[in-house]
Amino acid sequence: MSASAPDPEPAGPQSAAGPVPLVLAGRRARPPRHLADLPPAERRAVVAGLGQPPFRASQLSRHFFGRYTDQAGEMTDLPRAARDPLAQALLPRLLTAEQELSCDGGTTRKTLWRTFDGTLVESVLMRYPDRVTMCVSSQAGCGMACPFCATGQAGLTRNLSTAEIVAQVVAGARDLAGGQVPGGPGRVSNVVFMGMGEPLANYASVVAAVRRLTEPVPDGMGISQRSVTVSTVGLVPAIARLAAERLSVTLAVSLHAPDDGLRDTLVPVNQRWKVAEVLAAAWDYAAVTGRRVSVEYALICGINDQAWRADALGSLLAGRLAHVNLIPLNPTPGSKWTASRPAVQDEFVRRLAAHGVPVTVRDTRGREIDGACGQLAAADLR
Ligand code: SAH
């Protein structure tokens, strides 16, 4: 599984001669190669190419995935002369924090990252009493154009590399381990691909990132596969492909409407893959993995919150290995839509429950820092 490995000669932003043009030979430059892009055998090959014994690849990997550092000076188990060449070859700095916003007493933190080519992406860390969830971006922007989502309004800038995705989680893990998040030193327990982007539209990089996040240290970060959630608008062939990966990750499907008429407008990709096809793919995923599928439903006042739609949704999901996550709409700038009224939301919950469908209302953390679902727009606020 190395489909996400970048080109052999990645074009970094700097060289001895100064900045390198970002578009080379008419195509966009790729992020610099990083060990998190590579399966362990390929890391060893790069290390061997530098004239170093292959086991140094494990040492470097342990620094990054287990100690969350890419600083050559801290790698005292490596010979002094080898530290810089190894770190430069396999641990380039991919993300620079441009801005950090926090709320909930510092336990919800959104970071705006600048990548090697100036592209901006965001990640959110949410600490709860029993877990820490990192919400990561898989693309800069998004091409899916859902009209209620801030990211969808901006369009797609580019896919993130595997290492750019993993680096968001490593950064959160570093701050937690260092005690910089209120609540004492901690670990990242959960990762949700619910930041910017459609993860299954950047399939190879996302699946490789899941492997890096979940392989045990030193090969990866050692997070449990069951604690990783991949959320999708419903790209049916990619859902089938994901089922065949034999990963125990949770699939979340952003349904938002039980009927094609409305879903065609709320999730435009529905014009290609209809509700019935998306749910059929989801049930296949549940059957293959044994994992309960999470059905995401943003409740939008007067649009998709009618009692009859709750019943229609309940009928579609009754008896299935599924769980509904209702998300009160987080209004985005300029949107005329608002969240459903509390009584309407309660009735929606009641009707789903009456169909025997498990349902929870998501605690939408981070609204005040535009860090809640659908609010990530990577606006440069300086
Ligand atoms: N592209 C993926 C991941 C995106 S975000 C997907 O669509 O699943 C994660 C969830 O937040 C999705 O269910 C998305 O539809 C939802 N969402 C987007 N904008 C929202 C908003 N303004 N309020 C509430 N939920 C929103």
Q: Whole-angstrom Cα distance, residue 253 to residue 304?
A: 16
* Distance (Å) from CA 61 to ligand 1 centroid: 33
Residue of the nearest CA to atom 24 in ligand 1?
329
Instruction: Give the pLDDT confidence score for residue 7 in this predicted structure.
Output: 38
Nearest residue (CA) to ligand 1, atom 17: 374
Beta strands in 280-347 (DSSP E): 293-299, 322-328
Residues acting as catalytic residues: 122, 373
Give the model's pLDDT for residue 375.
74
CB-based contact 156:137 (threshold 8 Å): no
Is residue 233 within 8 Å of residue 146, measured between CB atoms? yes
Centre of ligand 1 to C-alpha 197, Å, is: 9
Dihedral of the CA atoms 312, 316, 321, 327 (nearest 10)? -40
Task: Indicate the burial class of 367 (C-beta count within 10 angstroms; 0-12, 13-18, 19 or more).
Answer: middle
| pLDDT of the residue at 27 | 60
Tell me which residue has its CA closest to atom 20 in ligand 1.
374
Q: Encoding tokens for residue 283?
A: 């049930």
Return the sign of the alpha-carbon dihedral for residues 220, 221, 222, 224: negative
Candidate of 110, 133, 134, 148 to mutate for ligand 1, largest count of ligand atoms within 8 Å of Cβ: 148
Which residue's structure tokens are 């570093």? 174
330 alpha carbon – ligand 1 mean position (Å): 10
pLDDT score of 5: 40
3-state helix, strand, coil in the chain (%, to 5): 35, 20, 45
Q: How far apart are CA 205 and CA 159, in angstroms?
A: 8
Ligand 1 centroid–CA 28 distance in Å is: 28
Q: Which residue, judged by its Cα, is nearest atom 21 of ligand 1?
A: 374
Radius of gyration of the chain (CA): 21
Predicted local confidence at residue 2, as pLDDT: 35
**Mean pLDDT per 10-residue run, the chain (382 residues)?**
37 40 60 97 97 97 97 95 96 96 94 96 96 97 95 92 98 97 97 97 98 98 98 98 97 98 98 98 98 98 98 98 96 89 97 98 79 68 38
Distance 152 CA to ligand 1 centre (A): 9
Cα(335)–Cα(72) distance, rounded to whole angstroms?
Answer: 47
Q: What is the pLDDT of residue 379?
A: 57
Ligand 1 pocket, residue 149 CB under 6 Å: yes
Give pLDDT, residue 14.
Answer: 39
* Ligand 1 atom showing the smallest separation from residue 231 Cα: 8
Q: Say if ligand 1 is within 6 A of residue 231 CB.
A: yes
Of all protein residues, the one whose alpha carbon is nearest to atom 3 of ligand 1 is 194
Q: Is the CB of 232 under 6 A from ligand 1?
A: yes
Give the pTM.
Answer: 0.92
